[in-house]
Amino acid sequence: MNENIDKLIHETFEKTNDPVNGKKIRYNSDLITENEFYCNNCLDDRKMKVINVKMREDINRNMYNTFEEAFQRNLPLVYELECLQCKSKACLIVQKMNNEIKDIVLYEKSGGCASKNSPDGVKYYLNEAKLSKQIGAKSASMAMYRAALDFLLFEQGYTQGMLGNKIKKLEEDRENNCGPKWAMEIEPQFLEAIKDIGNSSIHPNDGNIKNQEEIDENLLNLVDIVFSELLDKIYEQPIRSKNNLELLKNKISLLNKKE
C-alpha cells in the first residue's frame, strides 16, 4: 500500500484513550490534513489539502477495538484533495476489497503522462489511459496509449490512413530527410511497438484472452515513460531551447551595453 494512504487511514481512525472504554479506535469525520499526492495539473507530486468528506454520525459514535474492525465498518473512505500549489481538485476513494486496500484518485482536470504543451487531444487520450489503469483495466489503458499516438501523428500532419500508414509515412520522411525535426531524433521502432501492443490489446488474438495478461502494470509503466519522452522531445524541448537561447541573447546584449 502507498505510504501516504497508510498515513491517511491512520489519521482517519485515531487511537483514543477513552476513560470508560480504554484504548479504542475512533473515526475522525472532521479530519482535515495535508499529505503528498500526485497532481495531474502540476504533473508531479504535490502537497495537498485533504478533507474527509464522509460524514456518517453513526460511525462516529462507535468505538472500535481494532483498526481492522473500524475500517471494515466504514468503507469506502472518501476524501477531497486540493493541490496547494495550483488549487486544482481531486477526489480520493479508498476501499478494502479481498483483504487488499485499493485507492483511486479522480481528477477534475485531464492528466496522465501528458506534458504541459501537448495538444488537447493527446491529453484527452492519455488521461483515459491513466484512469483505466487506475481501476485495473490494463488492456483498455494500452488501447488509449495507441489512440494518443494516433492523435499525436495526426496533429503533426500525418493525416492519411490508419496508424500503421501514418508511421510508415513518417519513416519515409525520415529517410528522405524531410520530416519534422523530432522524427530524426526518435527511433520509429518505439512508435511501432506502441501501435503493435495497442493493437493486441483490442484484437481477438486467435481467440486467446490469456494473452492479455502480458499487458501488465510494468508494461504500462514502461509505455508511460516512452510516451513522456516522446512528448518532451516534440513539444517541450523546442520551447526550452528557444527560451534558453533568448536568455543567453539577452545576457549578451546587456554585456554589450556595459562595454
**Closer CB to Zn ion, residue 46 or residue 166?**
46
Cα–chain center distance at 14: 30
CB of 35 to Zn ion, least distance (A): 14
**Closer CB to Zn ion, residue 42 or residue 91?**
42
CB atoms near residue 73 (< 10 Å): 13
**Closer CB to Zn ion, residue 64 or residue 107?**
107
| Peptide linkage before 76 cis (omega within 30 of 0) | yes
Residue 170 neighbours by CB under 8 Å, 6+ apart: 153, 158, 179, 183, 188, 191
Q: Which residues are near Zn ion by CB under 5 A?
A: 39, 41-42, 46, 83, 85-86
**Closer CB to Zn ion, residue 39 or residue 70?**
39
Burial label, 118 (beta-carbon count in 10 A; 0-12, 13-18, 19+) = buried
CB of 181 to Zn ion, least distance (A): 31
CB of 105 to Zn ion, least distance (A): 12
HSE value, Cβ hemisphere, 13 Å, CA-based, for 200? 15
CB of 117 to Zn ion, least distance (A): 17
CB of 40 to Zn ion, least distance (A): 8
CB 41 within 8 A of CB 86: yes
**Closer CB to Zn ion, residue 44 or residue 100?**
44
